[in-house]
Structure 1
Amino acid sequence: MSTSISDESHLPGPNEAAISARMNALRAGVLGANDGIVSMAALLVGVAAASPTNGALLVAGVAGLSAGALSMGIGEYVSVSSQRDAEQAQIARERKWQDTRPEWELEQLVELNMKTGMSRAVAQEAASEQMKHDALAIHALMHLGINPNEYTNPWAAGIASFLAFTVGGLIPTLTILLVPESLAIPATFLAVIAALAITGLVSARVAHSSKVRALVRNVIGGSLAMAVTYGIGALLGTHVL
């Protein structure tokens, strides 16, 4: 007996859908935390190099955290909302096509099945069964790559990014404010490197990718950003302030 994609075992179930939604939020959170760590560290190290006073650092920290967290949260919400709108528009067009040209849609599904290795006869049989089960869902999945029952949640992504940026940004902010001035910049470098190593490992775990590559990429990128902004801050502090 042939096996087709309409078999429910091949479609994402409720648990898989929930896991996928959590993974999207987790990815947004990891990216937000990483951005918060690097952005705030670079900003504060640059300010510290130019004007190493707690007042200046506090103002820069509060302003940077507020602007960065809001920017990340709103940006992620708008981005995911646009993606969701585009997916819903595609599904609406697909629904219209199912009503106005069912024979064409059936043939398209046959061809899509054949691309998976089925013979035409088996592909036609499978397509007929799939169309009877849920024509819209199977076309959305196979033709558009969209699950009409599982749209990405823009609120989850936006809130995760907002909170993650804030948490990540607090690491260099609290370090540079609480550590004695003579040790503030070296301590911030160390705290940021440790934090970036953690976010790199978490992102690699989420993506099932190389942990070493993610860790090295995060640490080198963040260190370079801090070094550049420290140099700019030191230059401005010496020649301008």
Structure 2
Amino acid sequence: ATQVYVADLGIPGFTQSWSIATELAFYAVLPLIVLALRPARRRDLALPMKILVVLAVVGVIASGVIGGGVIGSEPLYERWLPARLTNFVLGMILAEALARPDDRVSLWISRLGASPGACLGLAASAYLLATTPIAGALTLGGVGGEFDHAVKMVLSCVVALGLMVPLLWSEPNTFRTVLTHPASRWLGKVSYGVFLWHLAVFEGLYAVSGLALFAGGMLPLLAVGVPLSLLLAALSYSLVEEPASRWVARRLRRGREEQESASRSRATAR
């Protein structure tokens, strides 16, 4: 379910989890990216941001050149890290902008964030464009033209930018208030579970109801599928995600305490 390197090995009901493989690939190379940027920062504090912007552009070009594989018979090349690089680099650019607010790119982003309405309008416009043929065929199959991937990449980054910037750079606003509401925070906690379970839930509902895909019945399916997905997400968060997070936190805290104890012992011995 979570691999994109061999054709047709996805598990039905969890094929959307392909993105986990791409994310793991990014986290595997992230330390190398950081090490590569360190000399650049020592040379010029503004250089890492310039490199990241260039990487983002290279990633867009790569997504267009790489194209996509045929679902079911070829590896899904468009889901490999090189074709998705810009998505991750955009996050690094935002992190760098927060760390260095005086950078030219940071100043441009902060000016954009001063207008939450414009940011959200930009995100909505890009999202609507992504639902039109300008971003490729409107099917679940492979993307049509080779540069449709590049168009999708640009539009997805514009959506992400439009949603994130008002949260990070603007004054308190309605958008931020809505997303910090307890109900929104709870939805954020269980969001990974919703992502993981929703497709299996809806495939099960289609099988039980006898409905064909895209043949109507959306409202009844949503009325049953959304609560079921939320229930499974809440259970997996409470029974798996939260206990696992606490266990990792305890292990890390214990490791730090042991290191501090060892340091104090060495200092006392001297």
Q: Report the TM-score when normalising by structure 2.
A: 0.26
Structure with the greater alpha carbon radius of gyration: 1
